[in-house]
Amino acid sequence: MENKFHIPNSFPIRPINRPAPSRPKSTAASPIASFNQVLQEKLTESSLKFSAHAQKRMAANGIKLSEGELRKLEDAVAKVEAKGGKESLILMRDLAFVVSVKNKTVITAINHERLQDNVFTNIDSAVIS
């Protein structure tokens, strides 16, 4: 079989010189600072979520949780989870929260005015904190 293309031996084959890909210049401190910043944000983030219904109830009833109260609520959810609870009523001060432990979501929030004569259903545990 005959080669249709004839390449003379004197034909120089050289690699193509391409410029190296440019990388953004960064200082050694910026990735560390960025990591530390993200870590701090994650540490201060709450592990609990609040459903839209709970947020509406809290806003309508003027319920605001301090960082300490939020941590207390998170601790109560962790205790219920350790005991195998799935849906819990958490009483804290003059507030009540119904929490989906599995989803770590506050389903509803009730203030002291609405707490009386209230019936809580579909819960398997309660925490008085």
CA angle 86, 87, 88 (to 5 degrees): 115
Look at the pTM and tell me if it is higher than 0.75: no
Q: What is the pLDDT of residues 48-78, one digit of tens each?
A: 999 999 999 999 999 999 989 999 999 999 9
Coil, strand or helix at 3: coil
Answer for the pair 48, 106: CB distance below 8 angstroms, yes or no. Answer: yes
Q: Is the pLDDT of residue 125 over 80?
A: yes
| pLDDT of the residue at 32 | 64
| pLDDT of the residue at 28 | 52
Q: How many CB atoms lie within 10 A of CB 108?
A: 17
Residue 98: closest CA among 75, 121, 69: 121
Q: What is the pLDDT of residues 3-50, one digit of tens each?
A: 566 555 655 666 666 666 666 665 555 566 677 676 666 655 668 999
Q: Is the pLDDT of residue 87 over 90?
A: yes
| pLDDT of the residue at 118 | 83
Instruction: Give the pLDDT band (50/70/90) at residue 115.
Output: confident
Q: Which two tokens stand for residue 112?
A: 């002291």
| pLDDT of the residue at 97 | 96
